[in-house]
Amino acid sequence: MSVSFGGGYLKTRLELLQLKRSLRTAERVYRILEDKRDVLVRTLNELIDQAQELREAITDRLEEAYSDLAAAYVRCGPEVTELVSRTLGETLSVKVRSYTLMGIQVPTAEVEEARFPLPYGFLETTVDLDEAARKLRAVIPEVCKAAAVESAIFRIAEELRRTQRLLNALEYVIMPRYEQAIKEISMALEESDRDYFVKLKHIKRVLERRKAAQPTQ
């Protein structure tokens, strides 16, 4: 197709046909992108709600854990509490996976095993310290999940912006230019057809006059 959107298109029926096909293709792409945008918006809203719920749950659990930890500091003393914290090894195993949503790789994080042995039974500790350790261990999977959800939010939001830019380009630039080109070519062809029929009528009248002027045999 030789259309350039700068007025440099051919005013031919073939060009008109090609432009109409291109416009139909652009309209189909627009509808597909609209559906994609709707899915992305719905998914994004769901993830935002999920992230908010996770943040609230994590905040509540951390407040409880830190409250117990503060009580342990008071009862056991900072030296014992800090010593206990240094005895805990790194036994957290996190598996990161991903799934595809509308062509986007969305991450997920899952704590495979969150077993933290408590190797401080020989120390003088309190229930507060045990509870603080238990609650902190329990919140780790939620923290991993929240991180994955927020990462998904950023990726989907970026894809949503890209999709909206494409929709805007189609709606406000590409399709209007196709429509304008189709209109101009159609008008030019109609004018050409009118001129052609006028010429045909003129030729017909000339031939009829010549025929009428001929002497009868």
For the chain (217 residues), the mean pLDDT of every run of 10, in chain order, is 57 92 97 95 95 95 88 76 60 78 80 57 62 82 90 94 97 96 91 79 76 69
Residue 8 covered by a domain: no
Which amino acid type is present at position 1?
A: M
Give the chain's domain count: 1
Q: Is the pTM of this model over 0.85?
A: no
Residue 3 covered by a domain: no
Q: Rounded to the nearest 5°, which phi and psi values hold at 126?
A: -125, 170
Query: What is the domain extent for residue 58?
Result: 13-208
156 and 104 in contact (C-beta within 8 Å)? Answer: yes
Strands 104-114 and 92-101: antiparallel
Residue 92 covered by a domain: yes
Residue 215 covered by a domain: no
Residue 104 covered by a domain: yes
Residues 80-128 have pLDDT tens digits of 667 666 655 556 677 888 888 778 888 887 777 555 555 555 445 567 7
- The set of residues, in sequence order, having a beta carbon less than 8 Å from that of 41 and lying 6+ positions away, is 160
Residue 7 covered by a domain: no
What gap in Å lies between CA 43 and CA 169, rounded to an integer?
24
For position 150, what pLDDT does the model report?
92
